Structure 1
Amino acid sequence: MSFMQRTVSTVPFLLLVLLFAAPLQARSLPDFTELVEQNAPAVVNISTRQQQSIRRQMERFNIPDIPENSPFGELLRRFFGEHGFDLPDQEREQRSLGSGFIISPDGFILTNNHVVAGADEIIVRMNDRREFSARVIGSDERSDIALIKIEAEDLPVVKTGSAEKLKVGEWVLAIGTPFGFDHSVTAGIVSAKGRNLPSENYVPFIQTDVAINPGNSGGPLINLDGEVVGVNSQIYSRSGGFMGLSFAIPIEVAMNVAEQLKSKGRVSRGWLGVLIQDVTRDLAESFGMQHPQGALVARVLPDSPASKAGLQVGDVILSYNGTKLKSSSDLPPLVGASPIDRPVAVTVQRGGRTLEVMVQIGELPPEDAIELAESHAPKVMSNRLGLMVSDLSREQRSELAVPPYQGVMVDSVTGEAPRIAGIQEGDVILMINERKIESVQQFNQLVAELPANKTVAVLVHRRSGPIFLALRMPAE
Structure 2
Amino acid sequence: MKRMKSLSKGVMKGSLSLLVAATMFGAPVYADALPNGATIPALVQKTTSSVVAIIGRPSNDKTLSRADRYQFAHGTGVIVRNDGYILTNAHVVKNMRNLTIVTSDGKSYSGKTTHYDEESDLALVKIEASGLTPATFASSSDIRVGESVMAIGTPLSFALRNSVTSGIISGMERSVQSKYRLIQTDAAINPGNSGGALVNMKGEVIGINTMKYVEYGVDSLGFAIPVDTVQYVLDQFFKYGKVKRPTLGLELAESWEAVVGLPSSSGLEVTFVEPDSPAAKAGIKQGDKLLSINSDSVHSMVEYNEVLKKYLPEDKVNLTLQSGLDTRKVDLVLSEDKSGSVAVIQDSDGSYIDADQGKTMIGDSHFGWSMKYPTGLVKTNQSANGSMVTFADAKGGYAITIRIQEKQSPDMTPYGLMKKLDREDMVDTILEKRYVEGGPDSPSYAKLVGEMGNELYFQSRAFLKEDKVYYVTLMVNTSDSKNSAAQRNSIADVLDSFKLEYDAKNSSLKDITAYQDKNSVTTEYGVAFDLPQDWKAVGGDLDYVNKDGDQAVTIRVTSAVSGDTLASWAAREEKEFTDSYAEGYRETQGAKEVTVGGVTAMQNLYSWTMGDKWKQTYAYYIIKDKYKYELTWTYEKASGGETLEQHIADWTGTIHFPKDALNRSLSVIQDEADLIDPSRTITYTNNKYGYSLQLPERWYDGGNESAIDAATKTFSSMGANLSILADDRSSLEEVLNRTEQEYKKNLDNDANYKYTETDESMFDTDVKKFAVQYKSRNIPYTLHEYVFAKDGIVYTVRVRANEAVKTDKLWKQLNDAVQSMDFTVK
Residue 670 of structure 2 aligns with an amino acid whose one-letter code is L
- How far the C-alpha of 1:26 sits from its partner, in A, is 5.1
Change (3 A) 1:155 1:134: same
- How far the C-alpha of 1:280 sits from its partner, in A, is 4.3
Stretch moving more, 126-135 or 113-122: 113-122
Change (3 A) 1:310 1:51: closer
Contact 2:73 2:96 in 1 (8 A): no
Residue 148 of structure 1 aligns with an amino acid whose one-letter code is V
Change (3 A) 1:267 1:293: same
In the TM superposition, 1:72-111 aligns within 5 A as 91-93=67-69, 94-111=71-88
Match of 2:282 among 309, 317, 330: 309
Match of 2:52 among 41, 44, 52: 44
In the TM superposition, 1:21-40 aligns within 5 A as 27=31, 32-40=40-48
Residue 336 of structure 2 aligns with an amino acid whose one-letter code is E
Match of 1:167 among 123, 129, 144: 144
Change (3 A) 1:207 1:95: same
Is 1:274 paired with 2:247? Answer: no
Residue 150 of structure 1 aligns with an amino acid whose one-letter code is I
Task: Name the residue aligned to 2:127.
Answer: 150
**Between the two proteins, what is the percent identity of the paired residues?**
34
Match of 2:166 among 174, 184, 187: 187
Residue 232 of structure 1 aligns with an amino acid whose one-letter code is N
Whole-angstrom CA distance in 2 between matches of 1:49 and 1:33: 33
Task: Name the residue aligned to 2:96.
Answer: 119
- How far the C-alpha of 1:55 sits from its partner, in A, is 5.3
Deviations 1:367-407 (A, max 9, x none): 66997354xxxxxxxxxxxxxxxxxxxxxxx95159979xx
Change (3 A) 1:102 1:302: same
Task: Name the residue aligned to 1:400.
Answer: 670
Change (3 A) 1:117 1:364: same
Say which SS state the counterpart of residue 81 (structure 2) adopts.
Answer: coil
Is 1:248 paired with 2:224? Answer: yes
Deviations 1:80-119 (A, max 9, x none): xxxxxxxxx9844530121111111111111112222243
Whole-angstrom CA distance in 1 between matches of 2:41 and 2:331: 51
- How far the C-alpha of 1:336 sits from its partner, in A, is 5.1
Change (3 A) 1:41 1:53: closer
Contact 1:174 1:187 in 2 (8 A): yes
Task: Name the residue aligned to 1:233.
Answer: 210
Gaps of 5+ in 1: 1-24, 57-88, 283-289, 375-397, 406-476
Stretch moving more, 41-50 or 26-35: 26-35
Residue 44 of structure 1 aligns with an amino acid whose one-letter code is V
Change (3 A) 1:101 1:194: same
Say which SS state the counterpart of residue 179 (structure 1) adopts.
Answer: coil
In the TM superposition, 1:376-387 aligns within 5 A as none
Whole-angstrom CA distance in 1 between matches of 2:267 and 2:276: 24
Whole-angstrom CA distance in 2 between matches of 1:300 and 1:187: 46
Residue 113 of structure 2 aligns with an amino acid whose one-letter code is V
Contact 1:52 1:91 in 2 (8 A): no
Is 1:135 paired with 2:112? Answer: yes
In the TM superposition, 1:264-343 aligns within 5 A as 264-280=240-256, 292-335=265-308, 338-343=311-316
- How far the C-alpha of 1:158 sits from its partner, in A, is 0.8
Structure 1 stretches of 4+ with a deviation exceeding 4 A read 25-31, 50-56, 367-371, 401-405
Whole-angstrom CA distance in 2 between matches of 1:157 and 1:309: 45
- How far the C-alpha of 1:353 sits from its partner, in A, is 4.1
Task: Name the residue aligned to 1:372.
Answer: 560
Residue 345 of structure 1 aligns with an amino acid whose one-letter code is N
Whole-angstrom CA distance in 2 between matches of 1:179 and 1:313: 48
- How far the C-alpha of 1:363 sits from its partner, in A, is 0.9
Whole-angstrom CA distance in 1 between matches of 2:280 and 2:325: 21
Whole-angstrom CA distance in 1 between matches of 2:279 and 2:66: 51
Whole-angstrom CA distance in 1 between matches of 2:266 and 2:83: 47
Is 1:224 paired with 2:201? Answer: yes
**Structure 2 length as normaliser, TM-score?**
0.35
RMSD: 3.6
Residue 271 of structure 1 aligns with an amino acid whose one-letter code is T
- How far the C-alpha of 1:262 sits from its partner, in A, is 4.1
Contact 2:84 2:132 in 1 (8 A): yes
Contact 1:206 1:250 in 2 (8 A): yes
Larger Rg: 2
Change (3 A) 1:187 1:321: farther
Residue 400 of structure 1 aligns with an amino acid whose one-letter code is Q
Residue 99 of structure 2 aligns with an amino acid whose one-letter code is I
Whole-angstrom CA distance in 2 between matches of 1:345 and 1:294: 15
Change (3 A) 1:403 1:213: farther
Gaps of 5+ in 2: 1-28, 341-525, 528-557, 565-667, 676-826
Change (3 A) 1:190 1:297: farther
- How far the C-alpha of 1:351 sits from its partner, in A, is 3.5
Task: Name the residue aligned to 1:431.
Answer: none
- How far the C-alpha of 1:39 sits from its partner, in A, is 1.1
Whole-angstrom CA distance in 2 between matches of 1:366 and 1:34: 45
Contact 1:271 1:336 in 2 (8 A): no
Whole-angstrom CA distance in 2 between matches of 1:40 and 1:357: 50
Higher relative contact order (CA 8 A, sep 6+): 1
Whole-angstrom CA distance in 2 between matches of 1:363 and 1:179: 39
Contact 1:53 1:91 in 2 (8 A): no
- How far the C-alpha of 1:264 sits from its partner, in A, is 4.2
Change (3 A) 1:349 1:51: closer
Say which SS state the counterpart of residue 232 (structure 1) adopts.
Answer: strand
- How far the C-alpha of 1:257 sits from its partner, in A, is 2.7
